Chains A and B, each alone.
Chain A
């Protein structure tokens, strides 16, 4: 019998990993749809579509055919044309390419100013920080207490040298939906580019890029049952949008993103987007129902508040703050649930969620926040079990402190 090396043991452990009993973190990532996984596996081995899509022989052309089919499926979900879709390694790279690409190209025309929001994903905020270190200027808009960006505040922040505005469609922590249509129109009138990070909205909200005035939009596959490590950037063809590439090499993707195309990843993303389009309406209704059921259960605890606007929100995300219980204790007490938290307990220096702080929440409420995100495999039973667990643990922990006497 062959003795497994320690590395092999570790790999075995990965495959035999038993996930926590109930998964409520679909906004972090999703499991790959079995149909998607099957199509990906067909692009790897010698009997499959393993060729380099850039090769001109038959094997390569077959791979290219699959890549272009996937491009059509991704474009179709958002009503774009396939040639407007550029493959990247994920939404983080798409955000980097959109912002760095636009500014590095636009700098030559004296445009050096970016407008974004404090509640954007780190992939946008850290890119902006990098651009600032290169001498570009960034205005960070503050949302209102519901997490929404007032389009008027975008209008007011636009200057003569503003090149681009970057506002996410759906916030990853609180699930609020920004008014990208109004913001897009005022950007277009002002002659300013508009980038939207749609990692959390593609496949969850209808997006029509034929009518939405958006220049650049970032997508990720793994948020909608596709694989990790693949994403796309929509680059609108009209008005013509110019970007400087951030990765140089063989001139792939019309020179915007070099590197051999990962056929299996791309095919996986295409299939995931195709499946998402089929299920969008039914899934939105079902997830909205589960989210509301969860909230109705949690509300009965008292001292619980929803973070973010009550109605302008995506179906799958519910972010709540629970008074009278510290965040890490909450997570530990609820460790049968895979949920995300605004707590920053393990690091003495880390702040509680910057998104919730931008909404004006106290440290305590930001620390004691939980993000539940439901998805394709969440059931009513899962929701009821989570509610039951919270009803057991929250009163128990509150009874240990001064919450009851309101000190």
Chain B
């Protein structure tokens, strides 16, 4: 019935002290809200019922690279730590609709056990949803490279 609770130091650190948590729905302006505000790009994936849900809220620069990232997450400690860790990892990276995460780097850094690696796919889907939001508006123009190349 109980899980064998072992996590590496990085997972524990991100779980205890999450980096860049957004404190509300995407794009909410004013008040004490921490997040990208107006013009934010947001994407979410997974579901609470299936045990993992991740949302990224991104501030995107002119070159379609991530300037700053915030997250919200529901899930096991690995899922929360992964989403938090990615908000440190994403700035400077350019989103595309076939965006893929370097699973090797991630599973090694967070020592994700096999049964937890699906959370990487949830994070990737959330980022692809962000990319679709970036690309959706003007896929025909000069955004070709950013939207269809890695």
Q: In the docked arrangement, what's the CA distance between A402 and B55, Å?
A: 9
Once A342-B1, A363-B49, A404-B24 are accepted as A-B contacts, the answer to whether A328 and B76 lie under 8 Å apart by CB is: yes
A345 and B51 form a contact (CB under 8 A) = yes
Residues of A within 8 A of B99 (CB): none
Whether a CB of chain A sits under 8 angstroms from the CB of B27 is no
Whether a CB of chain B sits under 8 angstroms from the CB of A30 is no
Whether a CB of chain A sits under 8 angstroms from the CB of B37 is no
- Least distance between B34 CB and chain A CB atoms (Å): 11
Whether a CB of chain B sits under 8 angstroms from the CB of A335 is yes
Once A363-B49, A367-B51, A405-B25 are accepted as A-B contacts, the answer to whether A331 and B74 lie under 8 Å apart by CB is: no
Residues of A within 8 A of B9 (CB): none
Once A348-B115, A402-B72 are accepted as A-B contacts, the answer to whether A331 and B24 lie under 8 Å apart by CB is: no
Within 8 A of A (CB), among B5-36: 5, 7, 15, 18, 21, 23-25
Chain A interface mostly helix, strand, loop or mixed?
Answer: loop
Once A329-B15, A331-B5, A362-B49 are accepted as A-B contacts, the answer to whether A401 and B73 lie under 8 Å apart by CB is: yes
B25 and A326 form a contact (CB under 8 A) = no
A405 and B24 form a contact (CB under 8 A) = yes
Q: Which of A326, A348, A399, A407 contacts B75 (CB 8 A)?
A: A326
B55 and A346 form a contact (CB under 8 A) = no
Interface size on A, residues (CB 8 A): 31
Q: In the docked arrangement, what's the CA distance between A344 and B76, Å?
A: 11
Q: What 1/0 mask marks residues of chain A from 377 to 407 whose CB sits below 8 Å from any chain B CB?
A: 0000000000000000000010111111101
Whether a CB of chain B sits under 8 angstroms from the CB of A340 is yes
Within 8 A of B (CB), among A332-370: 332-333, 335, 340-348, 353, 362-364, 367
A328 and B3 form a contact (CB under 8 A) = yes
Once A400-B73, A402-B25 are accepted as A-B contacts, the answer to whether A329 and B2 lie under 8 Å apart by CB is: no
- Least distance between B144 CB and chain A CB atoms (Å): 33
B49 and A331 form a contact (CB under 8 A) = no
A326 and B2 form a contact (CB under 8 A) = no
Q: Can you list 9 residue pairs at the A/B interface with Cβ under 8 Å?
A: A326-B79, A343-B1, A348-B115, A363-B50, A363-B51, A400-B71, A400-B74, A401-B72, A401-B73
Which 8 pairs across A and B sit closest by C-beta, in order of nearness? A401-B74, A346-B3, A348-B115, A328-B76, A332-B77, A345-B3, A405-B25, A326-B75
Known pairs A343-B3, A345-B3, A407-B25. 6 more at Cβ < 8 A? A328-B76, A329-B77, A343-B1, A364-B49, A400-B80, A402-B53
B interface residue numbers (CB < 8 A to A): 1-5, 7, 15, 18, 21, 23-25, 48-53, 55, 71-77, 79-80, 113, 115
